[in-house]
Amino acid sequence: MKRFIAAATAIVVVGLLPARAATGCPPPRCMTVTVPVTPGLIVPDNRVNVILPDGYDPTQTYPVLYLLHGGGGSYHEWTDNTDIVSFSSAYRIIIAMPDSGGTPSAGWYADWIDGSRQWESFHIKDVIPYIESTFHGNGNRAIAGLSMGGYGTMYYAAKYPSLFKAAASFSGAVDIRLADPVTGLAFVLIHNYEGTPSDKVWGNPITDDANWRAHNPTDLVNNLRGLKLFIACGNGFPGGTHEDPSNPGAYFIEGGAYQMNLSFVRALNGAHIPHTDRFYGPGQHTWPYWQDDLHWVLPQIMQTLA
């Protein structure tokens, strides 16, 4: 029963995100670029927000952080909802924020099994080479993201471990098979309302179980060995540092994320893979916590990429 309840709370991890603020992407450090798409790949939006280091010099090279958005968001979610532009000015790093679709067609950082989206191929084959050739990346990369983006972070890191030196998940959906198959079936049922993955993404969670396993960070933890891993999540209870009683659903969602993160950490511990955690107790699935997560992790990512 406890695993069923955990799965029931986890099914809406990425769906309900707070309304965007309007902090924007001010030039000259922040800009929106359009990345050319390889012929044959299908992605609805190929825009990427890019933040350059303060005093950017195109004759120099820089590490790159790929920062991923959640299920209800887009390429401009991080710049709209946090102080990332001003906060990152202290660090010599390029930050790239690609799109991956939003509710109800959230892309889940996947090449969809039905062939209608190729987000994974676009990000790996198009976005990374374009960003690093255009803005002079030095080959030292990290990846991070919130909620659905936390899922994408750990999936990409596990699928392509040679590409990244560090990976950080904030309230991420890092075990899509929690209480399998309950979570997968619930994902499909509430897809139109919450942007959770439908059968188009990885297939049916029962008949295509092998494909779900192949895309589940918790099943892929052995591939994360040697990477610097950071995991942050609240437990979904009231009493946190950024209380918003007007958004009670955000407690429920964060509670589901917490169960997924506990499962992910158990798998990492079972594989004897080191990780650095920020389980901060009471908290909601809301932007102030993810901004705190970013403040916590970026200095550590810089040390890893140095």
pLDDT at residue 193 tops 50: yes
Residue 180 is predicted with a pLDDT of 80
Nearest to 172 by CA among 305, 49, 285, 269: 285
| Average pLDDT value for residue range 219-246 | 97
Give the whole-angstrom CA distance, residue 195 versus residue 158.
23
pLDDT at residue 33 tops 80: yes
Task: Output b/e per residue, 129-159; b: 16+ Cβ within 10 A.
Answer: ebbbeebbbeebbbbbbbbbbbbbbbbbbbb
| Whether residue 248 has a cis bond before it, omega within 30° of 0 | no
Does 24 or 31 have the greater pLDDT score? 31
In DSSP terms, which residues pair with 171 in a beta bridge?
none
**CA atoms within a 13 Å half-sphere pointing along the CA-CB vector of 6:** 19
Nearest to 250 by CA among 26, 72, 30: 72
pLDDT at residue 17 tops 50: no
> If pLDDT is split at 50, 70 and 90, which confidence band does 20 have?
very low
What's the angle, vertex CA 197, arms to CA 195 and CA 202, rounded to 5? Answer: 160
Backbone angles phi, psi at 64, to 5 degrees: -130, 135
DSSP 52-104: PPTT--TTS-EEEEEEE--TT--TTHHHHHS-HHHHGGGS--EEEEE----TT
Reply yes or no on domain 2-305 having CATH 1.10.8.870: no
Q: pLDDT tens digits for 58-100?
A: 999 999 999 999 998 999 999 999 999 999 999 999 999 999 9
Q: Would you give the DSSP letter of residue 217?
A: G
Residue 103 is predicted with a pLDDT of 80
Q: pLDDT tens digits for 108-139?
A: 999 999 999 999 999 999 999 999 999 999 99
Q: pLDDT tens digits for 227-240?
A: 999 999 999 999 99
Total Cβ atoms within 10 A of residue 111: 20
Residues listed for the chain: 306
pLDDT at residue 215 tops 60: yes
Residue 23 is predicted with a pLDDT of 54
Give the whole-angstrom CA distance, residue 284 versus residue 148.
15
Give the whole-angstrom CA distance, residue 95 versus residue 8.
34
Q: Are strands 137-146 and 228-233 parallel, antiparallel or unpaired?
A: unpaired
